[in-house]
Every structure is written in C-alpha cells, then in structure tokens.
Amino acid sequence: MNDQTLLELAVQTLQARDGDGRAVLEHQLHIPIAAVLAGDAALTAAQRKRLRYLFTDYEWMLARKLVVQNETEPVEQGLAWRYQNAKATIAMAWLKGPDVTTRVLATEQPNGVIAQHLQIRREYGAHELVDLLDFVVPTAVAKQIQTKKLDLLEWAAAQLPAPAGN
C-alpha cells in the first residue's frame, strides 16, 4: 500500500476515533498536512508502522484487499468510502451469524477524549483464530448497547453505511 493511500485511510480512521484526524497526523505523527493534501507525503518506516496499528488485523487485510480492487475498479466516492462501506457490510453479516461476540471498550485518546469502541468479534474455534472489527460510537449509544436498551442489529442497520447496491 503506498503512503498516500495509507494516509487517506488513516485520516478517516483517526477522524472517527479522535474527531480531528489531520491534527493527529500533524502534531502526533509529525506528518505535514500540506504534503498529504498535495499527494506528496512520504512516510518514515516508524510512521508507517504507527499508522498500520490504527487497524485491527482483519481491518488491515480488508484495507489491503480494497486497495487492489480500487486500483482496477476505482469508485467515484474514493477508497475511504469503499473501506467504510465494506467494513459496515461485513459487520452486518457477522451480526446476523453465529460465533460472534460484541463488547464496548472505552479508551482514552492522546488528546484526553474518551472514545467508545464497539468491537464485533468473530471466532473460528480452531487455533484461536479471531477477526475483529472496531467502530467508534457515541457514548450514549455505547451505554444503550451495554444495558441492552438498544438492539445492536437494529442500530447497526440504521447507523452503518448501506451495503453497495442498496
């Protein structure tokens, strides 16, 4: 995955998690926004490694797969849209199937903000294989999901991007 593509996905992920992806890139990772916007950003190995770990292993595999697909069949909405759409489509399919667990995890971000992560986990049994999708959700939604006052599948269908073709 080239640096510009990684940055496009990272900004979207950081925006959802921290509320200001550009600030995180510039102030914490020391990546100049002007270079990113101009398409001239060149990352160091350390920056690339830090950006990679914004994603779960499954999300990283999905991102890499979609980069290849986007090179041969680009979409007007862009790679970041395609990634979010695919992630939401997979989450909906997992939530309807067996061997799926969910949890809400609160994490403090470097800026002091507490982010609520809805984690959807699919286990395959053998060799402790697990895939994980992570979505940042508003605190009120996280509390409703935890207390079962909100049906997760209904919320996901209403809030996650619609699958392609719908």
Is 136 a domain residue?
yes
* pLDDT given for residue 131 in this prediction: 92
Q: Do the domain assignments include residue 128?
A: yes
Q: What is the mean pLDDT of the chain?
A: 82
Could you tell me if residue 166 is inside a domain?
Answer: yes
Q: Does residue 104 lie within any of the structural domains?
A: yes
The CATH code of the domain that includes 106 is: 3.10.450
Cβ neighbors of 32 (< 8 A, separation 6 or more) are 26, 41
Domain count, the chain: 1
Tell me whether residue 16 is in a domain.
no
Closest CA to 83 of 2, 6, 4: 6
Share of the chain above pLDDT 90, in %: 8
Query: pLDDT at residue 124 above 80?
Result: yes
User: How confident is the model over 144-151, as a mean pLDDT?
Assistant: 76
Residue 54 placed within a domain: no
Longest CA–CA separation in the chain, Å: 47
pLDDT of residue 122: 92
* Contact assessment for residue 25 and residue 14, using Cβ atoms and an 8 Å cutoff: yes
Question: Does 17 map to a domain?
Answer: no
* Cα-Cα-Cα-Cα dihedral sign, residues 7, 102, 98, 163: negative
Lowest mean pLDDT segment, chosen from 11-25, 82-96, 106-120: 11-25
The model's pLDDT over 25-68, given as tens digits with 9 standing for 90+, comes to: 787 778 887 887 787 878 888 888 888 888 889 998 999 898 88
163 has pLDDT over 50: no
| pLDDT band of 4, cuts 50, 70, 90 | confident
Which residues constitute the domain of residue 130?
84-166
